[in-house]
Amino acid sequence: MTTQYWLVKSEPEAYAWTDLMRDGRTDWTGVRNYQARNHLKAMVPGDQVFFYASVTTKAVLGLAEVTRSYFPDTTADEDGWVAVELKPVRALPRPVKLEQIKAEPSLKDTAFLRQGRLSVMPLTQAEFKVIAKLGGV
């Protein structure tokens, strides 16, 4: 199966990159948007995921990997919401700020810029490679 690429967003006050590094893995819970849920359902172990710190930081800080496909989200009050398990791979040598992403012509059509409020979104392999290069990977 081909590796897929994703970007997940979290507010640092809710769950920070440093929390994921400390914890060693996490269940990516709390997603309550139907499109983002569908993206979670498409994730499989081995998929590569950029961790974006929203609100105050506004930067891609690290690389994570999907370690468990979707399962019921235990934080949901109703059925149908799902989570995946993520583990940290490494921090990016250089955080990739939102301004850098917006300034990069090859990223102008990313879901990240077109649907900025979405918390889980796909990236193409090419988009992933550009962000990785900007981050020093």
pLDDT in tens, 35-75: 999 999 999 999 999 999 999 999 999 999 999 999 999 99
Q: What are phi and psi of 15, to 5 degrees?
A: -160, 110
Question: How many residues would you count in the chain?
Answer: 137
pLDDT in tens, 101-110: 999 999 999 9
CATH code assigned to 5-134: 3.10.590.10
State residue 80's pLDDT score.
96
Question: Using CA atoms, how far apart are residues 135 and 99, in angstroms rounded to an integer?
Answer: 13
Query: What are the residues facing 71 on neighbouring strands?
Result: 83
In this predicted structure, the answer to whether residue 1 has a pLDDT above a threshold of 90 is no
State residue 37's pLDDT score.
97
Q: Domain coordinates of the chain in residue numbers?
A: 5-134
Amino acid identity of residue 78, one-letter, is: E
Query: What are the residues facing 59 on neighbouring strands?
Result: 53, 97
Query: What is this structure's pTM?
Result: 0.95
